[in-house]
Amino acid sequence: MLNLSRFATLLLLALTTTPSAQAQTAPSASEAARYSGLHAAAHQGDTARLQQLIASGADLNARDGHGRTPLHVASFAKQREVIRLLAKAGAKLDLLEDDRYDCVTIASVADDEETLRVLLSLGASAKQVTSRYEGTALIAAAHLGHDGVVKQLIAAGAPLDHVNNLHWTAVIESIVLGDGGLRHQATLRALVEAGASPRLTDREGNTPLVLARARGYTAMARIIEESRTKR
């Protein structure tokens, strides 16, 4: 049986502290104004200056005060040509900034399908463990109901049943942190059709079906029921 008191406590904790609920920390206007070198060129999308700096041997993986590389900055700013140029020059695609987010998770949380597509095409990984909650880009995207992003990440080999340190999977987060609407339904359907388990439980032993019913998400409960009959 669902422990409603414990569930409510965990839900409140996640809603108020899970980093993907507030997205990652993008450079503020004041930070961006202080940028120089590759960080400034990446933020502004100044490809001519970027190429000059690359040719002069600038550190492609230099960090700002928050641990962001030029690639992180370009991902936040949706500067896709900058991303391509940096990757071609040898910038590392999978580095984590100080909050332990990578470019793939940054694009995923922003629901930025095109930047994500560019990053994955260049070889960025959809498999990394990110954030202080030891989650993944897939879990973050499922939480937010970014169904197109979820489908891209699944196709790129994201781990379907990764369990974060809240003891939640992408399937569970799509329910307990979702709104039950069409995009979260599409997210859940994409996950279970790809083979994500509808049986893995939260820390209290509640299955996704129990969690969906408890929240009154009839359509999501039906998706889980249908997936379980096919296995």
Report whether 129 contacts 145 (CB < 8 A): no
* Domains of the chain: total: 1
- Considering the domain boundaries, does residue 169 fall inside one? yes
Residue 125 class from Cβ within 10 Å (0-12 exposed, 13-18 middle, 19+ buried)? middle
Closest to 32 measured CA to CA, from 58, 66, 55: 66
What pLDDT shows up at residue 104? 98
**How do residues 73-125 score in pLDDT, each as one tens digit?**
999 999 999 999 999 999 999 999 999 999 999 999 999 999 999 999 999 99
- Considering the domain boundaries, does residue 77 fall inside one? no
The pLDDT of residue 212 is above 50 = yes
Residue span of the structural domain in which 186 resides: 1-22+129-231
- Considering the domain boundaries, does residue 115 fall inside one? no
Q: Please state, for a pLDDT cut of 70, what percent of the chain lies above it.
A: 89
The pLDDT of residue 9 is above 90 = no
- Considering the domain boundaries, does residue 178 fall inside one? yes
Query: End-to-end alpha-carbon separation of the chain, Å?
Result: 23
CATH code of 4's domain = 1.25.40.20
- Considering the domain boundaries, does residue 174 fall inside one? yes
- Considering the domain boundaries, does residue 213 fall inside one? yes
Is residue 177 very low, low, confident or very high in pLDDT (cuts 50, 70, 90)? very high
What pLDDT shows up at residue 168? 98
**How do residues 12-46 score in pLDDT, each as one tens digit?**
444 444 444 455 899 999 999 999 999 999 999 99
The whole-number average pLDDT for the span 69-76 is: 98
Is residue 170 very low, low, confident or very high in pLDDT (cuts 50, 70, 90)? very high
What pLDDT shows up at residue 8? 52
What pLDDT shows up at residue 2? 55
The pLDDT of residue 71 is above 60 = yes
- Considering the domain boundaries, does residue 42 fall inside one? no
What pLDDT shows up at residue 18? 47
What pLDDT shows up at residue 20? 42
**How do residues 44-56 score in pLDDT, each as one tens digit?**
999 999 999 999 9
Residue 107 class from Cβ within 10 Å (0-12 exposed, 13-18 middle, 19+ buried)? buried
- Considering the domain boundaries, does residue 135 fall inside one? yes
What pLDDT shows up at residue 50? 98
Is residue 133 very low, low, confident or very high in pLDDT (cuts 50, 70, 90)? very high
